[in-house]
Structure 1
């Protein structure tokens, strides 16, 4: 395009850069500026609109940060794919109350919910109170880029004791969630590196790969986890998996598949496995399964985990463990980074872990979630003529397969009308494949144990599913 024609109100209280940013954004959303079109240079647009280049630079920077445009080194700015962008309300004068709010439910089987009634507030408050004192004033300063050594040391000890992961604190990087850490991992690989993802899997993870313009191969999952034979047919260099409790199906990667995955990675120096061990603390059948990292003898596994399920989602503390070879690359690429987790929060967690309270809390939560899990599965067993459950070995959700004349979408609508939140498996498919079978994720972490039976009964009632005939 030659030039952008926007009406800037110089007498307005709204800054010129904000007016320009909004004007370009609305033009992109409304397709007035097409995908791939090059924006004018800052100098040319500044001359045309008779404003400073700094104003143009601030507006472009905001558009770049929000993903509306992309920058090509020494070439310029180009409009991004609109399909990857969220829909923005056109009427900028609309009241904030007119924007859609997240739906709340009377009963919510959200797989991401935790039991908030069992959190040890008193103990947590004690550690927080001790830290917020003059003796901790050095924590007001910027800490180590990879995170506080005390927390990385506690994490290394915990991983060795609970997951069989052998690592040094120097290999651990702490960050504010998977959303911040996974893009960092992607930058450790060349731009032509191809990735494989479980299908179905985390939609947010798929979006992150797409936003970073990485080639992605969706790999099917069955009852043994990701199908390694399908992975071997691709040109992928790195595979992202959730072996201990596949999300969302709940499948546990079998011993055979684990060996196959590690053998696949060992066949090339450019191959790696990203192991997301997001809820491995909670297992209800058999002995705890070691992390895939614990079986790795060739330094091919990048281990990731978080305190989201074990402590709380709002803590925003996650971490990854890098193989030595990639650690050198990390130190080179991110030598100017600062940790994104507040130092006070890191030390609270470190002290909480160091004094044994984390282990005590986990033991308590295992008992609570096991009780909820057993209650849920026993109640669902009463409807086994119409439903089937899988993925019940671990984690905080199960997969419910429903035999019904209604489709998955229709069943979800019926539940929503009854103020019940359920989550269809189709929403997690990367290839948008529509199965003829209705399947739903049923999270039980956030539902009180005494409410599980009535919650299931209300769900089955809205679907007109009856209990098994006791005479059969």
Structure 2
């Protein structure tokens, strides 16, 4: 074999073994070296090319691994016959990975964003650090399909103290967000169930296995209109009674009673209670959960840690009535928990030692101040803007007396570096509003920036600012 065909460029950035490997491989593919040809020994080729035998050995080993060469003990290296397949030598691709960058607005009034500056990073890091240790090696295995018992126990205790909910850890199922848990509930309740949903309401619900089974029910200032529910053939209703999303309405005491009575009238009737934003209430006493009032095992309670801790934690849970536990075990015994075990134990320990309650109390004060600032600005400077849903939660609804449509106003705001979200995004069935109506989330806006953000939004919409009355 003519060894002169293998010329190596020692100034090239490509390693010598790779240059040699490519040279021999190309010669074999293009039939420049015949099948059965014996390659030079490592020693001879190393001497000829003035390189180390180790370099030769690495190149030969790769050729053997890919089937171009065979090694015969004490005899040498021989070219193998390769399949006569079409071969295209490709130039190396210079691939640039483009990161999908979302636009960052100066003011983003998204209702789901939280105050990140107030998160207790040092304490969370302490609990995370204490777990990521060899002593926690058992957590590397798959855990309980309903979620870690320690976390379910802490959730059960917390809900009893804060919401009056009586439950056992065995009734609780943990999952990575409402979007993961809802399909499980829908499957549990059966494919023939008819679901009633608030209109406007949680926008992800219709996209999850409901198709033509969704029946929209109107919402007013007292929450879901139960009288309209009773006129339908629905046997399951999904509701956010503590702070209706997105209107902010609180289900009145009378309607709570009527809704529980509706559920009690049918064996297969159930209420899915999403306790959205229940932790943050600014006017009056906390509203009791429907589950705590239920005497007939008709309420499936749901909640998350998205607002109370962080959306990225992806920890949500539901509490099943005892009457559905056996069916759940039969249907989902093969499932695995979708929240990492380490994350569950960090949260459980954080709750166990009282830091979750302390954090929640602190955030209530912070969001209350933001809420008061927001409403005070509108009442003082923009009295024509109608505010609703301001009793609880981390957003309000504003209706602006303008002739332009919601989409046009949203685009005008975006052009001025402001993100705002129309209520029409959450409609299951069209509703005619007197004025364009928007959700105005304040969770992620710093307290000292709220006034500036509101003024800029109103200014870009040409809503005049009313001067403060003089005080004597």
TM-score (norm 2): 0.77
Runs (4 or more) in structure 1 with deviation over 4 Å come to 94-97, 469-472
Cα drift, residue 467 of structure 1: 2.4
Q: Is the contact between residue 176 and residue 316 of structure 2 (CA under 8 Å) also seen in structure 1?
A: yes
> 1 CA distance for matches of 2:203 and 2:468?
41
Once structures 1 and 2 are overlaid, which stretch shifts more, 351-360 or 285-294?
285-294
Structure 1 residue 131 corresponds to structure 2 residue 94: no
Q: Which residue of 1 aligns with 2:92?
A: none
Q: Is the contact between residue 154 and residue 354 of structure 1 (CA under 8 Å) also seen in structure 2?
A: yes
Q: Is the contact between residue 195 and residue 214 of structure 1 (CA under 8 Å) also seen in structure 2?
A: no
Cα drift, residue 465 of structure 1: 1.1
Aligned with 2:117: secondary structure?
coil
> 2 CA distance for matches of 1:260 and 1:327?
26
Structure 2: state its 5+ residue gaps: 1-94
Q: Which residue of 2 aligns with 1:286?
A: 284
Cα drift, residue 411 of structure 1: 1.7
Structure 1 residue 199 corresponds to structure 2 residue 199: yes
Q: Which residue of 2 aligns with 1:361?
A: 359
> 2 CA distance for matches of 1:227 and 1:374?
29
Change (3 A) 1:95 1:214: farther
Cα drift, residue 199 of structure 1: 0.3
Cα drift, residue 469 of structure 1: 5.5
Q: Is the contact between residue 380 and residue 468 of structure 2 (CA under 8 Å) also seen in structure 1?
A: no
Instruction: Choose 1 or 2 for highest CA Rg.
Output: 2
> 1 CA distance for matches of 2:435 and 2:96?
41
Q: Is the contact between residue 163 and residue 292 of structure 2 (CA under 8 Å) also seen in structure 1?
A: yes
> 1 CA distance for matches of 2:398 and 2:233?
34
> 2 CA distance for matches of 1:146 and 1:449?
39
- 1:231-246 matches, within 5 Å, as 231-246=229-244
Q: Is the contact between residue 381 and residue 468 of structure 2 (CA under 8 Å) also seen in structure 1?
A: no
Cα drift, residue 470 of structure 1: 5.1
Cα drift, residue 110 of structure 1: 0.5
Cα drift, residue 433 of structure 1: 3.7
Structure 1 residue 310 corresponds to structure 2 residue 319: no
Q: Is the contact between residue 197 and residue 217 of structure 1 (CA under 8 Å) also seen in structure 2?
A: yes
Cα drift, residue 410 of structure 1: 2.1
Once structures 1 and 2 are overlaid, which stretch shifts more, 235-244 or 286-295?
286-295
Aligned with 2:142: secondary structure?
coil
Structure 1 residue 328 corresponds to structure 2 residue 333: no
Q: Which residue of 2 aligns with 1:432?
A: 430
- 1:312-461 matches, within 5 Å, as 312-461=310-459
Q: Deviations over 1:285-335 (max 9, x none)?
A: 011111111111111000000000000000010000000111111001001
> 1 CA distance for matches of 2:385 and 2:447?
21
> 1 CA distance for matches of 2:430 and 2:164?
37
Q: Deviations over 1:129-185 (max 9, x none)?
A: 110111111111111110111000000000000011100000000000001100000
Aligned with 2:208: secondary structure?
helix
Q: Is the contact between residue 113 and residue 443 of structure 1 (CA under 8 Å) also seen in structure 2?
A: yes
Structure 1: state its 5+ residue gaps: 1-93
Structure 1 residue 144 corresponds to structure 2 residue 144: yes
Change (3 A) 1:110 1:153: same
Q: Is the contact between residue 398 and residue 438 of structure 2 (CA under 8 Å) also seen in structure 1?
A: yes
